[in-house]
């Protein structure tokens, strides 16, 4: 059987990095990890190929080769997924669909023979068994959450690695918190489920053997959901693994309580983590309490951020405007907060209510839903009627975004960040054993080889040099 895995194209969004990718000479940001994982669960005897439409077009000859197309997508790829399905239908190739888009709204799609919803580790085996018997059903779903021991190492061999800016590895699924706007818990549960250390190291080994040298994103909903295991097993193992492997750096998503745990921060940095994405959401406790983000309440998040930055972790932040408790001053407060924090990569969105969340249920009851979400949470749109009024939110949001991403606003954050992290110290924190032997201290803080400048030359660097360095640092893939 010939299985063609197809990943639809991302539209031009903040997260597609379409304009930034050319700076690093890559075609797309991250690999379609769901499809690579599912491909590894298929019978070994079947032939498998991948077409990632973010890398190249889906050609007729691909479809002539394929017996079945396996498609995966998130909501933001909705329209692109429809186009792929039509193309397959026209070519007469059967389509099997899975992933978050279809899990949440499969009823909206025609032209798909089989929907394998939720987590493939549970829903794919019964489909394969029924297929072998010649009686596959239309929909497979599960309300259970599988043990991560069932998740095989992704089939890296399907990728042309050089097209990607970063690779992805997943350690855990689920998040112990329960923010009302977030559908992670609805999709993946509140109990973090983890892979064992041996599984994670095997995936990293697989990447290393496939020739990857570069950034790896741990695509967990909250990497520190099980701190004990991280401290006792996984991070020490990654520290040991990295000893003789140059060129790897890691980033991930964590909750803000990481800032209170110096032992964990130290292990993360020693394991090669240099960036963490944190859902900070809003500067005021009212908004945080409203959305159930108790873990952020009563904290000095700016101090937390600076502590992480000085310790060697650049902080990327998620922010939201449009909570019921937000007054008209929220736009200025968010601006001041983000600028002071030195969070260069600030994802700011309007509050949206994805189906399946507590927020969706509440606003539906209150008659304040405007329809489906687009899947792009920073396109200046929303599916809710905010208390402050839609016009006020839209106008305030657009002005805030423009200010944050104006050259002045952006560079001011870069400077704040640089002054916090004390460039030399940061570079040393992230030096791999191998690079320590070769690098003199330099301002190149992105895990690449040092600049070779003497301390005097460094001191004489021009403002432009520094900006160039910081832009390289702030390429999200370095």
Q: For ligand B12, which residue of 9, 62, 119, 290 counts as binding (CB under 6 A)?
A: 119
Report the distance separating Cα 368 and Cα 204, nearest Å.
Answer: 46
The answer to whether residue 38 forms part of the interface with ligand B12 (CB under 6 A) is yes
Q: Residue 9 is encoded by which pair of tokens?
A: 């194209």
Q: What is the DSSP string of 234-294?
A: IHHHHHHHHTT-TT-EEEEEE-GGGGG-HHHHHHHHHTTEEEEEEEEE-SSHHHHHHTT-G
The pattern of x and - marking residues 363 through 402 that bind ligand B12 according to CB under 6 A reads: ------------xxx-------------------------
Q: Which is nearer to ligand SF4, 5 or 184 (CB)?
A: 184
Identify which of residues 187 and 269 has a Cβ nearer to ligand B12 in the complex: 187
Which x/- pattern, by CB under 6 A, does the window 161-180 give for ligand SF4?
--------------x-xxx-
CA torsion sign for 113, 114, 115, 120 is negative
Distance between alpha carbon 271 and the CA centroid of its chain, in Å? Answer: 19
Rounded Cα–Cα distance for residues 314 and 418 (Å): 10
Show the CA angle centred on residue 446, arms to residues 441 and 449, nearest 5°: 55
Pairing of β 215-218 and β 167-169: parallel
The phi-psi region of residue 247 (left if phi > 0; otherwise alpha if psi is between -120 and 50; otherwise beta) is left
Binding-site member from 221, 290, 358, 439 for ligand SF4 (CB under 6 A): 221
Among 31, 99, 214, 279, binds ligand SF4 (CB under 6 A): 279
Spatial separation of the C-alpha atoms in residues 426 and 418, rounded to whole Å? 10
Among ligand B12, ligand SF4, none, the one that 101 touches (CB under a kind-dependent 5 to 8 A) is: ligand B12
Contact call for residue 99 and ligand B12 (CB under 6 A): yes
Residues with Cβ within 8 Å of 181's Cβ and at least 6 positions away in sequence, in order, are 291, 320, 351, 352, 353, 354, 357, 359
Which one of 166, 183, 444, 470 is in contact with ligand B12 (CB under 6 A)? 183
Q: What CA–CA distance (Å, rounded) separates 5 from 67?
A: 11
Taking each helix axis from N to C end, the angle separating 197-210 and 235-242, rounded to the nearest 10 degrees, works out to 30
Of 99-107, 319-327, 450-458, 464-472: span binding ligand B12 (CB under 6 A)? 99-107
The residues pairing with 281 across neighbouring beta strands, listed in sequence order, are: 319
Tokens of 319: 């922010």
Residue window 29-68: x/- pattern of binding to ligand SF4, with contact defined by CB under 6 A: ----------------------------------------
Nearer to ligand SF4, 172 or 274 (CB): 172
Q: What are the DSSP E strand ranges found in 111-177? A: 114-116, 139-140, 167-169, 172-173
222 binds ligand B12 (CB under 6 A): no
With binding defined as CB under 6 A, does residue 184 bind ligand SF4?
yes
Q: What mask of x and - would describe binding to ligand SF4 in positions 222 to 261, judged by CB under 6 A?
A: x--------------------------------x------
Q: Is 70 in the site for ligand B12 (CB under 6 A)?
A: yes
Which of 4, 21, 51, 72 forms a contact with ligand B12 (CB under 6 A)? 72
Angle in degrees, CA 326, 328, 331, rounded to 5:
80
Please name the residue ranges forming H helices in 342-406.
358-365, 390-404
Query: Tokens 């053997």 belong to which residue?
Result: 209
User: Which of ligand SF4, ligand B12, none has residue 13 at its interface (CB below 5 to 8 Å by kind)?
Assistant: ligand B12
Q: Nearest CA to 68 among 44, 48, 53, 40?
A: 48
Nearest-approach distance from CB 337 to ligand B12, in angstroms: 19
Pick one of ligand B12, ligand SF4, none as the site partner of residue 166 (Cβ within 5 to 8 A by kind).
none
Tell me which of ligand B12, ligand SF4, none is bound by residue 188, counting a contact when its beta carbon lies within the kind-specific cut-off of 5 to 8 angstroms: ligand B12
> Would you give the DSSP letter of residue 232?
I
Nearer to ligand B12, 304 or 376 (CB): 376
Find which of ligand SF4, ligand B12, none residue 93 binds, CB within 5 to 8 Å per kind.
none
How many other C-beta atoms are found inside a 10 Å radius of the C-beta of residue 370? 14
Which span (7-15, 293-301, 360-368, 429-437) binds ligand B12, by CB under 6 A? Answer: 7-15
The entry of ligand SF4, ligand B12, none near residue 375 (CB within 5 to 8 angstroms by kind) is ligand B12
63 binds, among ligand B12, ligand SF4, none (CB under 5 to 8 A by kind): none
Q: Which residues bind ligand SF4 (CB under 6 A)?
A: 175, 177-179, 182, 184-185, 221-222, 255, 279
Interacting residue ranges for ligand B12, rule: CB under 6 A: 10, 13, 15-16, 29-30, 32-35, 37-38, 70, 72, 74-76, 96-101, 104, 116, 119-121, 124, 168, 170, 173, 182-184, 187-188, 219, 221, 375-377
């Amino acid at each position: 059987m010939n299985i063609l895995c197809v990943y639809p194209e991302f539209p031009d969004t903040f997260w597609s990095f379409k304009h930034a990718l050319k700076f690093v000479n890559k075609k797309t940001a991250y690999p379609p990890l769901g499809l690579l994982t599912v491909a590894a669960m298929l019978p070994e005897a079947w032939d498998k190929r991948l077409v990632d439409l973010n890398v190249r077009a889906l050609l007729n000859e691909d479809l002539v080769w394929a017996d079945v197309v396996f498609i995966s997508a998130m909501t933001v790829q909705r329209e692109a997924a429809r186009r792929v399905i039509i193309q397959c239908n026209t070519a007469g190739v059967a389509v099997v669909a899975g992933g978050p888009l279809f899990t949440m709204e499969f009823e909206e799609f025609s032209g798909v023979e089989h929907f394998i919803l939720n987590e493939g580790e549970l829903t794919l085996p019964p489909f394969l068994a029924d297929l072998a018997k010649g009686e596959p059903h239309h929909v497979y779903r599960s309300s259970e959450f599988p043990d991560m021991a069932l998740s095989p190492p992704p089939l890296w061999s399907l990728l042309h690695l050089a097209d990607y800016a970063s690779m992805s590895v997943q350690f855990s699924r689920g998040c112990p918190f329960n923010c009302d706007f977030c559908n992670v818990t609805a999709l993946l549960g509140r109990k973090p489920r983890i892979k064992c250390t041996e599984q994670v190291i095997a995936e990293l080994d697989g990447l290393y053997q496939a020739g990857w040298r570069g950034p790896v994103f741990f695509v967990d909903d909250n990497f520190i959901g099980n701190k004990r295991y991280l401290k006792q097993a996984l991070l020490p193992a990654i520290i040991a693994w990295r000893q003789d492997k140059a060129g790897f750096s890691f980033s991930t998503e964590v909750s803000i309580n990481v800032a209170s745990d110096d032992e964990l921060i130290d292990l993360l940095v020693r394991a090669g983590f240099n960036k963490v994405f944190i859902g900070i959401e809003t500067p005021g406790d009212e908004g945080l309490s409203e959305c159930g983000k108790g873990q952020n309440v009563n904290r000095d998040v700016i101090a937390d951020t600076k502590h992480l930055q000085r310790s060697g972790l650049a902080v990327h932040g998620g922010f939201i405007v449009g909570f019921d408790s937000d007054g008209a001053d929220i736009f200025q407060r968010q601006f001041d907060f983000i600028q002071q924090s030195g969070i260069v990569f600030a994802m700011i969105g309007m509050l949206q209510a994805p189906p399946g969340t507590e927020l969706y249920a509440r606003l539906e009851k209150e008659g304040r839903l405007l329809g489906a979400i687009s899947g792009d949470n920073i396109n200046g749109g929303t599916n809710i009627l905010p208390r402050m009024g839609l016009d006020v939110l839209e106008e305030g949001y657009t002005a805030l975004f423009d200010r944050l991403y104006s050259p002045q606003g952006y560079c001011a954050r870069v400077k704040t960040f640089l002054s916090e992290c004390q460039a030399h110290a940061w570079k040393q924190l992230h030096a791999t054993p191998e690079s320590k032997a070769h690098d003199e201290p330099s301002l190149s803080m992105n895990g690449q080889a040092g600049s070779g400048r003497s301390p005097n030359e460094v001191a004489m660097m021009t403002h432009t040099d520094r900006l160039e360095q910081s832009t390289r640092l702030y390429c999200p893939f370095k």
